[in-house]
Amino acid sequence: MSFIETTIVIALLISALYALLSVGFTMIFGVGGVLNVAHAAFLTLGAYLMLYGIQLFGLGPWTATLFSLALVGLFSVLVYAGPVKLIEDDPIIVVIVTLLIFLIVEEFIFVIEGTSPKSLPVLVAGRVTISSTTIQSNQVFMFFLSWLTIIALLVFVNRTTLGKAIQAVSMTKRGATLVGINQFRISTTTWLIAGVLAGLGGIFLGTFQTAVYNMGLGPLIIAFSVVILGGLGSIKGSIIAAHIIGFLETLTTSLVSPRLTGLAPLLLLVIVLVVKPNGLFGREELE
Partner 1 sequence: MSTPTEADTDRTTVGALLTNLSLSPRHYVALLVVLGLASAPLWLGTLTLLQMMSAFYFIMFVISWDFVSGYTDQVSFGHTFFFAIGGYTSVILNLELGLPPLVGIVVAIVLTSIAGVLYAIPALRIGGHYLALFTLMPPLILGQLFIMFSDIFGGTRGLPTPDPLLQVGDFATTALANYFLALGILLLIFAISFVITRSDTGKIFKAIREDKYVVSASGLNPAKFKIFAMVVSAALAGFAGAMFAHSPVGSATPGQLLELTIIIDILLASILGGVGTIVGPAVGGFIFWWARQLSDNIEWIVPGLDVPFTRINLIVFYVLTLLIMLFIPRGIFPVLLDFGRSIWARITGESSDSSLDG
Which of 52, 108, 147, 247 forms a contact with partner 1 (CB under 8 A)? Answer: 108
Closer CB to partner 1, 151 or 256, in the complex:
256
Closer CB to partner 1, 171 or 267, in the complex:
267
Does 61 sit near partner 1 (CB under 8 A)? no
Between CA 287 and CA 227 the distance in angstroms is 19
Q: Give min distance, CB of 273 to partner 1, in A.
A: 5
3-state helix/strand/coil string of 158-172: HHCHHHHHHHHHHHC
Q: Give min distance, CB of 245 to partner 1, in A.
A: 14
Instruction: Identify which range of 95-103, 175-183, 190-198, 234-242 contacts partner 1 by CB under 8 A.
Output: 95-103
Does 35 sit near partner 1 (CB under 8 A)? yes
Closer CB to partner 1, 134 or 257, in the complex:
257
CA distances from 32 to 203, 208, 239, 256 (A): 26, 31, 20, 40
Which of 12, 154, 168, 217 forms a contact with partner 1 (CB under 8 A)? Answer: 217
Between CA 83 and CA 104 the distance in angstroms is 13
Does 221 sit near partner 1 (CB under 8 A)? yes
Does 273 sit near partner 1 (CB under 8 A)? yes
Residue of 126, 110, 40, 114 whose CA lies nearest to 75: 40
Closer CB to partner 1, 95 or 140, in the complex:
95
Q: Give min distance, CB of 257 to partner 1, in A.
A: 9
| Number of residues engaging partner 1 in binding (CB under 8 A) | 39
Between CA 280 and CA 240 the distance in angstroms is 9
Please report, as a single letter, which amino acid is at residue 29: F
Does 64 sit near partner 1 (CB under 8 A)? no
CA distances from 195 to 135, 177, 218 (A): 28, 24, 17
Counting Cβ atoms within 10 Å, is residue 186 exposed (0-12), middle (13-18) or buried (19+)?
buried
Residue of 143, 154, 146 whose CA lies nearest to 235: 154
Residue of 220, 228, 218 whose CA lies nearest to 274: 228
Does 12 sit near partner 1 (CB under 8 A)? no
3-state helix/strand/coil string of 52-97: HHHHHHCCCHHHHHHHHHHHHHHHHHHHHHHHHHHHCCCHHHHHHH
Q: Give min distance, CB of 27 to partner 1, in A.
A: 14
Does 168 sit near partner 1 (CB under 8 A)? no
Task: Give first-to-last CA distance, the chain, whole Å.
Answer: 51
Write out the binding residues for partner 1, residues 252-271 only, by CB under 8 A: 259-260, 262-263, 266-267, 269-270
The H-or-E segment that residue 133 falls in is strand 133-136
SS3 content of the chain, % helix, strand, coil (to 5): 75, 5, 20
Which of 60, 91, 117, 126 forms a contact with partner 1 (CB under 8 A)? Answer: 91
Does 28 sit near partner 1 (CB under 8 A)? no
Does 148 sit near partner 1 (CB under 8 A)? no
Residues lying near partner 1 in the complex (CB under 8 A) are found at: 29, 33, 35, 83, 86-87, 90-93, 95-97, 99-101, 103-104, 107-108, 111, 217, 221, 224, 228, 232, 259-260, 262-263, 266-267, 269-270, 273-274, 277-278, 285
